[in-house]
Structure 1
Amino acid sequence: MGLRGPQRAAARAAIEGLRELTAPGLTNSQIFRRADELLRPVLEFDAVCWHTSDPATGLVNSVQSDDLSLGNYQEAVHLEVWADDLATFPKIRNSGVHAETLSRASRGAPQQSIRFREQISRHGFGDELRAVFDAAGGMWGCAAFMRAADRGPYPAKQRELADSAAKLLGQALRASHIPSAAPGPADPAPAVFLLDRHNRPRALSGPAEELLARLADPSPTSLRVPTAIAMAAEHARRAAHGLPTPHVPVRIRTHDGHWYLLHAATLRDTPPADPAADEVTVVASPASPAQVIPLHLAAYGLTGREQEVALLLIRGADTREVAQRLAMTPYTVQDHLKSVFAKTGVSRRQELTALIMLALNSPG
Structure 2
Amino acid sequence: MAPTTAERVRDQIERLAVTGLDWPTFASAALDVLNRAVPFTSACLATADPATELITGTVKWGELRDIHDGEWARFEYEVPDLYTFQDVARRPGHVVSLRAETDGRPDRSVRFAEFLRPSWGYTDELRAALRADGHTWGFFALFRDRHHSEFTAAEHEFTSRVATAFAIGLRTGLLATAVGTVPVSGGPAVLVIGPDDEICQTSLGAADRVAELGGGTLGESPLPLALRSLVGAARRFAAEGRAVLPKVRLRTRSGQWMIAHASPLLARDGHTADVVVTIEEARPPEIVPLVVAAFGLTPRERDVVRLVLQGVGTGEVAKTLHMSTYTVQDHLKSIFTKAGVRSRRELTAKVFYDQYAPRLAGAMGLTPSGWFADPA
SS in 1 for 2:191: strand
Q: CA RMSD in A?
A: 2.5
What do the CA deviations read for 1:57-102 (whole angstroms, capped 9, x no partner)? 1111223324124544322211101234234211111113232211
For 2:157, the equivalent position in structure 1 comes to 160
Partners of 1:140 and 1:170 within 8 A in 2? yes
Structure 2 letter corresponding to 1:93: A
What do the CA deviations read for 1:248-277 (whole angstroms, capped 9, x no partner)? 32111112111111121122255655x5xx
* 2:341 corresponds to 1:346: yes
* 2:110 corresponds to 1:106: no
Please list every run of 5 or more consecutive structure 1 residues that lacks an aligned counterpart in the other structure: none
Whole-angstrom CA distance in 1 between matches of 2:141 and 2:92: 18
For 1:184, the equivalent position in structure 2 comes to 181
Match of 2:212 among 214, 227, 249: 214
Whole-angstrom CA distance in 2 between matches of 1:271 and 1:257: 42
For 2:260, the equivalent position in structure 1 comes to 262
In the superposition, the TM-score normalised over structure 2's length comes to: 0.85
Deviation at 1:338, TM superposition (A): 2.5
For 2:21, the equivalent position in structure 1 comes to 26
Whole-angstrom CA distance in 2 between matches of 1:165 and 1:245: 36
Q: Check 1:228–1:70 CA distance in 2 against 1; reply closer, same or farther (3 A cut).
A: closer
For 2:74, the equivalent position in structure 1 comes to 78
Partners of 1:195 and 1:201 within 8 A in 2? yes
Match of 1:116 among 112, 130, 142: 112
Give me the identity figure in percent.
Answer: 31
For 1:144, the equivalent position in structure 2 comes to 141
Q: Check 1:217–1:131 CA distance in 2 against 1; reply closer, same or farther (3 A cut).
A: farther
What do the CA deviations read for 1:157-212 (whole angstroms, capped 9, x no partner)? 11112112211110101111224544432544211111112332222214211111
Structure 1 letter corresponding to 2:237: A
Q: Check 1:130–1:271 CA distance in 2 against 1; reply closer, same or farther (3 A cut).
A: farther
Whole-angstrom CA distance in 2 between matches of 1:118 and 1:344: 45
Partners of 1:251 and 1:259 within 8 A in 2? yes
What do the CA deviations read for 1:324-352 (whole angstroms, capped 9, x no partner)? 44455545433432321221122322232
Partners of 1:137 and 1:298 within 8 A in 2? no
Q: Check 1:116–1:348 CA distance in 2 against 1; reply closer, same or farther (3 A cut).
A: same
Pairwise mapping of residues 326-345 of structure 1 onto structure 2 (< 5 A)?
326-345=321-340
For 1:12, the equivalent position in structure 2 comes to 7
For 1:39, the equivalent position in structure 2 comes to 34
Please list every run of 5 or more consecutive structure 2 residues that lacks an aligned counterpart in the other structure: 362-376
Match of 1:129 among 126, 131, 154: 126
For 1:203, the equivalent position in structure 2 comes to 201
Q: Check 1:245–1:75 CA distance in 2 against 1; reply closer, same or farther (3 A cut).
A: farther
Partners of 2:177 and 2:255 within 8 A in 1? no
Mean Cα displacement is larger for which, 327-336 or 122-131?
A: 327-336
Deviation at 1:127, TM superposition (A): 0.8
Whole-angstrom CA distance in 1 between matches of 2:142 and 2:305: 38
Mean Cα displacement is larger for which, 51-60 or 320-329?
A: 320-329
Q: Check 1:338–1:33 CA distance in 2 against 1; reply closer, same or farther (3 A cut).
A: same
For 2:311, the equivalent position in structure 1 comes to 316
SS in 2 for 1:362: helix
In the superposition, the TM-score normalised over structure 1's length comes to: 0.88
Partners of 2:190 and 2:278 within 8 A in 1? yes
Structure 1 letter corresponding to 2:171: R
Whole-angstrom CA distance in 1 between matches of 2:106 and 2:339: 45
Structure 2 letter corresponding to 1:131: A
Structure 2 letter corresponding to 1:176: G
Partners of 1:141 and 1:173 within 8 A in 2? yes
Structure 2 letter corresponding to 1:237: R
Whole-angstrom CA distance in 2 between matches of 1:77 and 1:357: 33
SS in 2 for 1:76: helix
Whole-angstrom CA distance in 2 between matches of 1:303 and 1:191: 36
* 2:53 corresponds to 1:58: yes
Whole-angstrom CA distance in 2 between matches of 1:85 and 1:304: 35
For 2:294, the equivalent position in structure 1 comes to 299
Q: Check 1:186–1:33 CA distance in 2 against 1; reply closer, same or farther (3 A cut).
A: same
SS in 2 for 1:297: helix
Matched residue pairs, number?
353
Whole-angstrom CA distance in 2 between matches of 1:12 and 1:246: 43
Partners of 1:183 and 1:362 within 8 A in 2? no
Partners of 1:134 and 1:167 within 8 A in 2? yes
For 1:358, the equivalent position in structure 2 comes to 353
